[in-house]
Structure 1
Amino acid sequence: MSNSYDGDVNAYERGTGFLLARLGSLTARSWTAFLAAHDLTQGQYAVLVTLGEHGPQGQRRLAGLVAVDARNIVAVLDALAGRGLVERRPDEADRRRRTVALTERGKALVTVVADAAAEEQDGFLRALDQAERAQLNLLLRRLYASHVDGPA
């Protein structure tokens, strides 16, 4: 499928590597601005969404789920707790451990941010129809998995 854009660019601008890098840069800037508008960092967002999807978690398990070093998760949790978005309480099975859960305020924020993120994504992908978006996502996940998980 060709469009008028193809004839208006230099050869390097049609390369997959260039396009992935450029779109990555554009989406990273957009995503960072989106999170900043909601007064969140990427780490804080990951914690909130993960707790929303998986429910209360031990701090160590939560750190693993969001791919943050267990020592560094404390600062993220402190910031979220300070805003009343999460609470830490003793684990019922092992009182030495701490369980992290979303507060009602945290749950509400996750909903608001998820809805806003979906709108943001729709805007970014506006040039693609639903089938093309699904295909792009599938291809990107497969490519990502091949680099993160190794060859299939």
Structure 2
Amino acid sequence: MTDFLTMPGYLIRRAHQAATARFAEEMSQAGLALTPFQYAALSAIAAAPGLDQARVAQMADCDRATMGGVLDRLVDRGLVARTVSERDRRARVLHLTESGAALLAQARPVAEAVQDTLTEGLSTADRAMLTDLLTRIAGRRA
């Protein structure tokens, strides 16, 4: 019988817990109130202003209902603006507000530093291999 402590699923869950905790700690130390999902949403919107909620959820690999709650909170905080699409009056498109863009600019170096901290014991080649393996496990093409 395989020891559960060495099972990939267990180790991936533990790595996720470590990454999430480190992200929260570093954002808090920087005085930024931002979760990983909120960071992903802001980053997706910044990369492609005018996305709709479904596309932001898809880019962040998050279900639409969860992303809806994340976006509601970002809108309530004045970080994201929802407007009616000019192409489809039934759709709402998303843009960062000035406050949202400013917060993302502050958060980006913190998030990048977290990635470096999480992989600090790895060589450049090992980090690239880890990224490739996790990308394949997650079902995406690198």
Report if TM-score (shorter chain) is over 0.5. Answer: yes
Q: CA deviation at 1:14?
A: 8.3
Mean CA deviation greater in 109-118 or 67-76: 67-76
Q: Distance in 1 between matches of 2:26 and 2:85?
A: 34
Q: Which has the higher contact order (CA 8 A, sep 6+)?
A: 2
Identity of aligned residues (%): 32
* 3-state SS, counterpart of residue 135 of structure 1: helix
Task: Specify the structure having the higher radius of gyration (Cα).
Answer: 1
Q: Distance in 2 between matches of 1:73 and 1:25?
A: 20
Q: 2:136 aligns with which of 129, 134, 142?
A: 142
Q: Could you tell me which residue of structure 2 aligns to residue 76 of structure 1?
A: 70
Q: Could you tell me which residue of structure 1 aligns to residue 101 of structure 2?
A: 107
Q: Does 1:126 align with 2:126?
A: no
Q: 2:59 aligns with which of 60, 65, 68?
A: 65
Which structure 2 residue ranges, 5 or more long, are not aligned? none
Q: Would you say the 8 A contact 1:35–1:42 is kept in 2?
A: no
Number of matched pairs: 136
TM-score normalised to structure 2 length: 0.74
Q: CA deviation at 1:19?
A: 4.4
Q: Does 1:31 align with 2:23?
A: yes
Q: CA deviation at 1:71?
A: 4.3
Q: 1:14 to 1:98 in 2, by over 3 A?
A: closer
Q: Would you say the 8 A contact 2:20–2:36 is kept in 1?
A: no
* 3-state SS, counterpart of residue 101 of structure 1: strand
Q: CA RMSD in A?
A: 2.9
Q: 2:6 aligns with which of 7, 15, 18?
A: 15
TM-score normalised to structure 1 length: 0.70
Q: Distance in 1 between matches of 2:104 and 2:116?
A: 18
Q: CA deviation at 1:142?
A: 1.8
Q: Distance in 2 between matches of 1:132 and 1:100?
A: 37
Mean CA deviation greater in 53-62 or 130-139: 53-62
Q: Distance in 1 between matches of 2:5 and 2:66?
A: 40
Q: Distance in 1 between matches of 2:73 and 2:98?
A: 16
Which structure 1 residue ranges, 5 or more long, are not aligned? 1-11
